[in-house]
Chains A and B, each alone.
Chain A
Amino acid sequence: MRNKAFGALAFAAGLAILVIALKALNWIPLIAQKDLMRRYGDFEEMRTALAIPQVFVPSYFPEDFRWPPTGILAQGKPYPAVIMEFERSGEGKTREVGMMIYQAARDDFSPGGPLLLSRVREQATYPLKGRSAVLEVGIGVKGEPCSRISWREKDVRITVLALLTPFELMKVAESMLQ
């Protein structure tokens, strides 16, 4: 019995070493190649590191949201992609991600993450300053109103997903285009 208990302890220690080794192996490529998907401290750091020619940002922010993004993830390879997270910052509001803006060179890019349009109630094509955008209106995980708008801009697909009404969301999207 004592041997079995010691064996279990040794097994657990072995697993812990394995997990640490895997984590270390996971970290090595990030040192070797700078343009793999990672989290950046701020927008400028990301721009400098990846030299992505154009990152689309809004000039209009609804109440509770403001520039700069509270979180930013990006990659240069295998294709350029940028994800910007915006937390709600209003008084009395919980600090949770309420808006995500992402752009990627591939149409099937799906970052997942803290915001989710869990149920789509309505989907429509919407003319967005001459572009054809797809607008989806529904609810988020907690049942709050949630909308998503997505369109192709030159060689990237841009998506804005937010816990906002469609009207507010479209204002954000329009402000990203000149």
Chain B
Amino acid sequence: MSLTGFFHSYPGLYVTQAFFHSLVASIVAEIAIKAWDVRDPAVRQRVFLVPVVAPVFLPPLFQLIHPGRGSTYFRLGTIFESGRWLELEMLGIHPVMGGLLLVFAITSLVFLFQELIPILRHSFESGKPEKTVGKVDCLEDPAIRTAMESFPAVPAVFVVEDDDFLIYSTTGKSAAVYVSSSLVTTLTEGELRSAVAHEISHVVRSRHPMLVAAYLLRALMFFNPVVLMEFRRAAQEEEKVCDEFAVSVTRNRRGLVQALRKLYLQPEEPPPQGRKTRKTAKEIEERSHRLNIESRISRLESGENHESGFRWLVPAAVTVAVVLINYFIV
């Protein structure tokens, strides 16, 4: 199939519309975040998920409402018609079509190697028993026990023999929190409780239907770079949502801040002197991770309180605006 043939076919039209719809949704989400100065991570997450969900449903929904959307007259009356850009021809080729297809191909590979394969591997390994040396019963703490009562299931917490600072959780049927032995000896009791509460929040929220559905929809949009970016932003907010949860359970903001510092903010090693070094991908990733942790610490230290009544207003406004504008984007 030729390049033009693909973009004129039904899959091609869907893919193109989904891309432009998510792009517009992403811009609308950003405008809303700035306009209302949204800092609540739960609200930010919902807003970032709009560009993930919208492109899956909007093209077929609009087609159902108005079957003549593909007609010449409708396209001429729209705000933005992607076909005009796609049909641009230079030296006998269609540069926008080619560029867009390349972007879709790269994004699909990123999804495959950075998300799908690691997730499948993780799911496979979650079923295997870990080499544990002990089990910590966090439910002995009455505050945590009370807070956990409302959850469908509280995961077990295991200590893993390891000299590195590690804390992570596995989800699924055998959901559990794993803490390295060195971390248990390094963190104070309050810090450890905060860190474990954060991980428990991940386990509990992984059963949240909205997040599970969002991930499935995101997987359907595997080719879409905007969806990839927005889903990652939503995932970053997830850490902050879990921080909030940990603080609400333990009532110990300082404990979580200290735990984060000890876990992730080791003093940075100075670069070797005498020669100009180029940053490697790993260094960039580490720097980015460090910035993310610093942002979480700064949020926790600011002790922001969020209005609960405002939580659905911004995502609702973004959704309405996205639907209305995207109706006129073909």
Residues of A whose CB lies within 8 Å of any CB of B are 3-4, 7-8, 10-11, 14-15, 18-19, 22-23, 25-26, 29-30, 32-33, 36-39, 73, 77-78, 81, 83, 109-114
Q: Which residue of A lies closest to B310 (CB)?
A: A4
Contact status B72-A78, CB under 8 Å:
no
Contact status B89-A77, CB under 8 Å:
yes
Q: 7 shortest A-B CB distances, which residue pairs? A: A112-B71, A14-B31, A10-B35, A7-B36, A29-B84, A11-B35, A111-B72
Residues from chain B with a CB closer than 8 A to the CB of A14 are 31-32, 34-35
Q: Which residue of B lies closest to A17 (CB)?
A: B31
Residues from chain A with a CB closer than 8 A to the CB of B325 are 15, 18-19, 22
Residues from chain A with a CB closer than 8 A to the CB of B89 are 33, 77
Q: Mark B21-54, 1 if CB is under 8 A from A, else 0.
A: 0001001100110111100000000000000000
Residues from chain B with a CB closer than 8 A to the CB of A78 are 4, 8, 87
Residues from chain B with a CB closer than 8 A to the CB of A19 are 79, 325
A112–B68 CA distance with the chains assembled, in angstroms: 7
Contact status A26-B79, CB under 8 Å:
yes
User: Which residues of B279-330 are within 8 A (CB) of A?
Assistant: 310, 313, 317, 321, 325, 329
Residues of B whose CB lies within 8 Å of any CB of A are 4, 8, 24, 27-28, 31-32, 34-37, 68, 70-76, 78-81, 84-85, 87-89, 310, 313, 317, 321, 325, 329
Q: Which residue of A lies closest to B30 (CB)?
A: A14
Q: List 12 A-B contacts (CB under 8 A).
A: A10-B34, A11-B32, A11-B321, A18-B28, A22-B79, A22-B325, A23-B79, A26-B80, A111-B72, A112-B71, A112-B73, A112-B74
Q: Which residue of A lies closest to B66 (CB)?
A: A112
Residues from chain B with a CB closer than 8 A to the CB of A33 are 87-89
Q: Which residue of A lies closest to B84 (CB)?
A: A29
Contact status B87-A73, CB under 8 Å:
no
A150–B75 CA distance with the chains assembled, in angstroms: 23
Residues from chain B with a CB closer than 8 A to the CB of A26 are 78-81, 84
Contact status A39-B76, CB under 8 Å:
yes
Contact status B72-A83, CB under 8 Å:
yes
Q: Which residue of A lies closest to B82 (CB)?
A: A26
